[in-house]
A and B are shown apart, each in its own frame.
Chain A
Amino acid sequence: MTKEKTIQITIDNKTIDARPNQTILQAAREYQIYIPSLCAMEHLSSYGACRLCVVEVDGLRGFPTSCTTPVEEGMVIRTDTAEVKGLRQEVLKLLLSEHPASCLFCTEQDECKQYMGTIRKVGATTGCRYCPNDHRCELQQIAENIGLTETSYPVYYRNFPVEKYDPFYDRDYNLCILCGRCVRVCNNVRLNGTLSFKQRGRVTTIGPAFDRSHIDAGCEFCGACVTACPTGALSVKVSKWYGRPEGQVATTCNYCSAGCRLILQTTKTDVIDALPDYDSAVEHGIICVKGRFGITEYVHSPLRYGTPKEMTPAGYNDISWEEAIAKAAGKLSGLKPDDCLIVVSPQLLTEDLFVAQQFIRQVTGSEEVASSFIFDLDGDAASFINLALASEPFETIEKAQGILAVGFDSTYGYSPIGVKAKQAAQAGASLMSLNSFESNLDLLSKIAFVVNSSRWADVLDLTMSRMSKGKAEKRFADLVEMWGSDLNKTCETFSCSSHNVLIVGPGIIDSPDRGKILRSIERMKNEYSWKVVVAHQYTNLAGMFAMGACPGIKPGEMIKEASADKAVVLKAELIHIDLRKKRKLIYLIGDASFDSLPECEFLIYQNALPPQCSRQPDLILPVSLFTEASGTVISAEGRVLQVKEAVAPYMDSKPDWWILKSIAEKMGKGKMKFNDVSSIQGEIKKIIKGFPAVKKRIEFKEIEVKGNVKTHGKGKPAAWKSSYRGIPLGEVVSGIKVIELKGG
């Protein structure tokens, strides 16, 4: 590898090496030389709006903005002369002439900070909180750094009403300084195009067309604009007024299989906000509404269970953990393997899944490791799993020439995949989207098929037949009539390209015809060598199969070590879980799929929030959620990602593995001698080398089912809504309910 050419420049008498395509600001930031700026952001293109980053450059006229001036060999730059400093102060004064500045220049600021006095005649000591982002404001920071202590201009208050009618975040454009970060991040990074500058001059505002609300204008509520805003103009409804967070923890989102990194901002007891990490290798900061805004309200829901509860004739009674464990152990002992059904959620951490499968096999002696995804997929479980576990990494989409998205929509989820598809389409790839409603990919698609999911398999088959120049069959006649010429053109690019990607979305799981669709997808993959990327809601599905937390599969059996590894043979009767037979005991571990469950005498419910149905569990074991636990998840791409404890467990809740281990110990069964998460990880190390610090993507063997799978046919899965541990997010997070209602 040749070393990249460097350019020598001098900033403030210090000689530094810069790269040819850098701006002065970028080079300076790399060497920790401070230049104030409000409009430049690392992942956004140069803009030059705020004029705060002016510097002096020998040989250049005037004061160029360092964020738009590229470095040149031998440049001599000064960032802190008296003239530059004076100029910056003047620029900032002009900026503040349209921004209420009482938070910056108040004679009682110091006293206020210390005593939080108030002018009201009540005992409240709140200080005057006029801006929700006080102490979390870049503008405040910059005013301090520039050393501005007073302003000579009167403040022109624009007097806009505060916009509070959209979910998740409020907008007070009186505080906006028109730096354009939100507009650029919305249009250039998220490729969403909800925000733009409206009108011009001193009446300029930011927002969607025709004064529509954000929700009507196609906003995805990804919150990228809120993160980018350097003032208090945009503020998150649930976390505003908190002030400066006390700590932050980088963890992995547990709401879907993408595995986005989140930076959780915390106070001593609460998670107050979740921010994207633009340096993350998985999603590059492209997170969705669920991760950005769906966490605080879920983990701090007032409905959360804080102590174990036991059903009595007079209602629920709080009991101690000792009693609860003894009760569960008592009910479980002496049961035959067939008498109990244990359901494990695919949204648990890998460590919990490992302990759960040990628990089922060693304590109950059963091989029936049931899970809600098996109920959802019924007879198609094996073919879906084969597809999902062999999902290609998201980068595959970047260089694709042809992309076909089936049942996929990234408006309110799966953002990293959706944005990559949009980027590829903008770069010239042929994008075709196939869905039962208008998806957010439609605008950039060459063709957007909006048809009922019963026809998806037909569209896929037609695409394949067009790619191989076959004659159209009769069953495609109406499709050809509707989209014939466009389809021909698109299929031509598909057949000329050697890099086609098929994005499979969660829409196919809901479809009654998913069996047919899955078979067509398999054909596209095997016969037409399409690369398949699967987006699904079963967060740790890969972890589940790696740990053997599923019927008939031993821990580690599914992990592929050599490419010649054979498929794992599975007997059909193992996948079939009898949902009609009455059981003595049902134990739900992080799952709440009550609609599918058979009748039982005793129901143990191990979760954090009450179920969304009338069925009342006999014993409730409160668990700590992923913000309160440590461990790993294995994402759809096969990456092992760390989950870190951000705050202490809520009240008396315990991690899943601890509860399972304690019950087993009480019963005197099994060999689960775990004291903490790292002891479980030590055990998993025997299956996955180097766990949990695994750099390599984990690859999986295929499953081959012997015999015919009986379908339980007990109810179709309800139209899928985003959920965590079986609880729909919309039931707990108010904003998600609003956007789901709008989605209809």
Chain B
Amino acid sequence: MPEVIEVIFEKYQRKPDQLIPILQNVQREFGYITPESVKHISRYLRISENQIFGVSSFYAQFRFTAPGRHSVKACLGTACHVRGGATLLEMLERELGISCGETTPDRRFDLERVACLGCCALSPVVQIDADIYSRMTVNKLSELLKQYE
């Protein structure tokens, strides 16, 4: 891991304003921001780990847990919300036993909420990996999850 990080650092100047590009690159590389990588970034940019965490936790794009094999995204945009998106999310949280931004212990699923997937006419929608599932209901979603291993 340290070698991979060193390679990432080579692309960036040793200045605090490079923090976000470095974090993005680290997340691309490892799938999430690991505590260990935060330590390395801290030493490289000479800012404390806590400050790095403060910046990265502000943005929804960074995650601090390992992603699962399949990523489930529940849409809570206006249209989906009106048509029961929140119920779907609640059901997902209950079924998977995790809350938003977390990964199941078996690393099968991770769960996120999104603001809009751009297909409001099909609401409520849920995205699993690259596929969009439209007009979802709690029952359909429960069946659907079984197809993913």
Contact = CB atoms under 8 A, between A and B. Distances in A.
Interface in A181-204: 187, 192-200
B50 interface: yes
B109 to A, nearest CB: 22
A197 B50 contact: no
A207 B48 CA distance: 13
B48 A194 contact: yes
A209 interface: yes
Interface in B34-84: 35, 38, 42-43, 46-55, 57-58, 64
A210 B51 CA distance: 11
A209 B54 CA distance: 7
B54 A197 contact: yes
Interface residues of B, number: 17
Given A443-B42, A443-B43, A209 B49 contact: yes
A208 interface: yes
A217 B58 contact: no
B50 A194 contact: yes
Contact of A192 (B35, B48, B52): B48
Contacts of A195: 50
Interface string A319-341: 00000000000000000000000
Contacts of B43: 443
A100 interface: no
In the complex, which of the residues B35, B43, B47, B54 has the most CB atoms of chain A within 10 Å of its own CB atom? B54
Contacts of B53: 196, 198, 208-210
Given A196-B54, A197-B58, A199-B58, A210 B64 contact: yes
Given A209-B38, A210-B35, A210-B64, A217 B50 contact: yes
Contacts of A443: 42-43, 46-48
A447 interface: no
Contacts of B54: 196-198, 209
Nearest to B43: A443
A49 to B, nearest CB: 15
B145 to A, nearest CB: 27
In the complex, which of the residues B35, B46, B48, B52 has the most CB atoms of chain A within 10 Å of its own CB atom? B48
Interface string A156-193: 00000000000000000000000000000001000011
Interface string B124-136: 0000000000000
A444 B42 CA distance: 10
A187 B16 CA distance: 14
Contacts of A200: 57-58
A728 interface: no
A196 B50 contact: yes
A193 B57 contact: no
Interface in A212-242: 217-218
Contacts of B55: 196
Nearest to A448: B43
B80 to A, nearest CB: 20
Interface residues of A, number: 18
In the complex, which of the residues B38, B47, B51, B52 has the most CB atoms of chain A within 10 Å of its own CB atom? B51
Contact of A198 (B35, B47, B48, B57): B57
In the complex, which of the residues B42, B47, B50 has the most CB atoms of chain A within 10 Å of its own CB atom? B50
Nearest to A446: B46
Name B's interface SS: helix
Interface string B1-16: 0000000000000000
B51 A193 contact: yes
Contacts of A192: 48
B57 A218 contact: no
A207 B53 CA distance: 10
A209 B41 CA distance: 13
Nearest to B55: A196
A199 B51 CA distance: 12
A192 B48 CA distance: 8
Contacts of B58: 197, 199-200
In the complex, which of the residues A196, A200, A217 has the most CB atoms of chain B within 10 Å of its own CB atom? A196
B33 to A, nearest CB: 10
A409 B48 CA distance: 17
Contact of A208 (B47, B50, B64): B50
A187 B57 contact: no
Contact of B47 (A193, A197, A199, A210): A193
A731 B49 CA distance: 32
A207 B47 CA distance: 16
Interface in A653-706: none
Contacts of B38: 209-210
Given A200-B58, A210-B64, A193 B50 contact: yes
A194 B54 CA distance: 10
A59 B37 CA distance: 51
A489 to B, nearest CB: 13
A156 B52 CA distance: 29
B125 to A, nearest CB: 24
B49 A217 contact: yes
A209 B57 CA distance: 9
A187 B42 CA distance: 14
Contacts of B42: 443
Contacts of B51: 187, 193, 196
A669 to B, nearest CB: 60
A241 B116 CA distance: 50
A209 B42 CA distance: 12
B34 to A, nearest CB: 10
A187 B47 CA distance: 10
Nearest to A443: B46
A193 B48 contact: yes
Contacts of B35: 209-210
A339 B43 CA distance: 58
A226 to B, nearest CB: 17
Given A209-B53, A217-B50, A443-B43, 10 more contacts: A192-B48, A193-B47, A193-B48, A196-B51, A198-B54, A199-B57, A200-B57, A209-B35, A210-B38, A218-B49
27 contacts: A187-B48, A187-B51, A192-B48, A193-B47, A193-B48, A195-B50, A196-B51, A196-B53, A196-B54, A197-B54, A197-B58, A198-B54, A198-B57, A200-B58, A207-B50, A208-B50, A209-B35, A209-B38, A209-B49, A209-B50, A209-B52, A209-B54, A210-B35, A217-B49, A218-B49, A443-B43, A443-B48
Interface of A: 187, 192-200, 207-210, 217-218, 443-444
